[in-house]
């Protein structure tokens, strides 16, 4: 079993696993001879020594080598480790279309066509070289960080001019993934490039509608549904979709071979014509952080992160929004600073008001006491000298009324007076 640090072919050092499928494992590896990173595809440990699986791996290398197209992942070399082949491929950074669909469920026409058109162009190049993919599905479409779209995994590809020399199909075996199989594949009949176009039609349907055209509880049920039923119209599942675009997808999924798109280029041209007629720009799909795009209807947050558009107006709007954000942050910062400076002054003012209110309350109580009719109105200072002890006490209360003092507790006063709020008469 391979582990990190192992060397294959005395040249490639394994760094980390980056992907895994039904047949093989993809490793990030270092080519120590060329001093660069590559992707290494090796068979699962359970398949080591299985000649059929090894033949599929070799077939993938041969099929990819026949096609020189930027939309197809390049195979750089083929080697063997302990009598088992491995592929050396260009290292791609990004995510699969399957991951995008799983996250967003439904994509806008702009995003969907930006993925499908490069796929059709790559398939056109493959078909021109006599190579059928036969397993087109979202897992085999890769969205690269640089905005390109790549077709992966020609492991079950059929090379039309060389099929007699190497038979990869076991007796009774079906080639492909059930949900994306064409009806002729589901029936076990011979297929041609139109089967690949059917699979692309299913992917486009899934992106636009948010669901597959056929569903079933199990593998056999899916095959029966595809082989015996007509695909439901796109508009039947998504009435808001443009009728022209829906017609293009419906034709790709027609049960009759004669009614489908005859080749990948005609399918791609129909999509391009629809875009031009409806003013839908073809975007460069990207998964790089910070990628953005024009605002379009029904675009999810994830799509905003994967579309890269070069639009000067959008760039100006973006700079304007950034300036507004900076201004807002500055205003909030100044306001918080002012609040910290202002808070002590407010507290001091509140304390002063509280003391003043306490003094006002004492003055109000003093003014509510019965006047001493025996004492003539005299100057406070004189009264404090000549009046009786009770009067002197009252005078001292008047003199001290401007200074704060503790509120008397409820109960008997220290000078024999009644409880606060009842009265000042000691005989009450």
Burial of 183 from C-beta contacts in 10 A (0-12 / 13-18 / 19+): buried
Identify which of 43, 44, 46, 33 has the alpha carbon closest to the alpha carbon of residue 7.
33
* CA dist list (Å): 121 to 75, 116, 163, 333: 19, 9, 24, 54
Burial of 65 from C-beta contacts in 10 A (0-12 / 13-18 / 19+): middle
Task: Say if CB 162 and CB 229 are below 8 A apart.
Answer: no
| d(C-alpha 203, C-alpha 176), whole Å | 14
Residue labelled with tokens 């500055």:
330
Interacting residues of 48 by C-beta distance below 8 A, sequence separation 6+: 82, 84
Q: Tell me, yes or no, if 135 is annotated catalytic.
A: yes
Q: Residues of 402-417 as b/e, b for ≥16 C-beta within 10 angstroms?
A: eeeeeeeeeeeeeeeb
- Among the listed residues 135, 153, 250, 263, the single catalytic one is 135
| d(C-alpha 50, C-alpha 350), whole Å | 87
Residue labelled with tokens 């690269």:
144
| d(C-alpha 199, C-alpha 209), whole Å | 15
Phi, psi of 161 (to 5 degrees): -90, 5
Interacting residues of 129 by C-beta distance below 8 A, sequence separation 6+: 66, 67
Task: Say if CB 252 and CB 197 are below 8 A apart.
Answer: yes
Going along 226-353, which residue ranges are E strands? 284-285, 307-308
The residues assigned a catalytic role are 135
């Amino acid at each position: 079993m391979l582990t990190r640090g192992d060397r294959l072919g005395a040249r490639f050092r394994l760094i980390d696993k980056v992907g895994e499928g039904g047949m093989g494992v993809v490793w990030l590896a270092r080519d120590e001879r060329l001093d660069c990173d590559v992707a290494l595809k090796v068979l699962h440990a359970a398949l080591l020594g299985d000649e059929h699986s090894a033949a599929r791996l070799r077939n993938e290398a041969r099929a990819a080598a026949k096609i020189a197209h930027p939309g197809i992942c390049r195979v750089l070399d083929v080697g063997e480790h302990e009598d088992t082949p491995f592929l050396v491929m260009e290292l791609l950074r990004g995510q699969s279309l399957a991951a995008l669909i799983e996250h967003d469920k439904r994509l806008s026409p702009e995003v969907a066509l930006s993925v499908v058109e490069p796929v059709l162009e790559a398939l056109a190049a493959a078909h021109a070289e006599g190579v059928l993919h036969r397993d087109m599905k979202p897992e085999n479409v890769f969205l690269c960080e640089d905005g390109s779209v790549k077709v992966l995994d020609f492991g079950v590809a059929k090379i039309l001019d060389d099929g007699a020399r190497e038979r990869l199909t076991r007796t009774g075996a079906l080639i492909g993934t059930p949900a994306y199989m064409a009806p002729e594949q589901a029936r076990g009949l011979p297929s041609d490039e139109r089967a690949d176009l059917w699979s692309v039609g299913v992917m486009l349907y899934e992106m636009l509608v948010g669901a597959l055209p056929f569903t079933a509880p199990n593998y056999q049920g899916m095959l029966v549904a595809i082989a015996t039923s007509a695909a439901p119209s796109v508009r039947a599942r998504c009435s808001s979709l443009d009728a022209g675009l829906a017609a293009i997808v419906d034709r790709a999924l027609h049960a009759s071979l004669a009614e489908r798109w005859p080749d990948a280029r005609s399918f791609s041209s129909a999509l391009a014509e629809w875009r031009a007629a409806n003013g839908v720009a073809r975007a460069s799909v990207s998964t790089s952080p910070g990628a953005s795009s024009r605002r379009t209807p029904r675009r999810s947050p994830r799509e905003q992160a994967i579309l890269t558009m070069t639009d000067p107006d959008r760039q100006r709007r973006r700079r304007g929004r950034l300036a507004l954000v900076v201004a807002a942050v500055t205003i909030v910062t100044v306001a918080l600073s002012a609040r910290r400076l202002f808070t002590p002054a407010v507290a001091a003012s509140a304390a002063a008001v509280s003391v003043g209110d306490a003094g006002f309350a004492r003055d109000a109580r003093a003014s509510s006491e019965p006047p001493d009719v025996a004492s003539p109105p005299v100057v406070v200072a004189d009264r404090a000298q000549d009046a009786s002890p009770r009067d002197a006490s009252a005078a001292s209360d008047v003199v001290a009324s401007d200074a704060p003092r503790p509120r008397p507790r409820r109960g008997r006063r220290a000078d024999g007076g009644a409880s606060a709020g009842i009265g000042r008469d000691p005989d009450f």
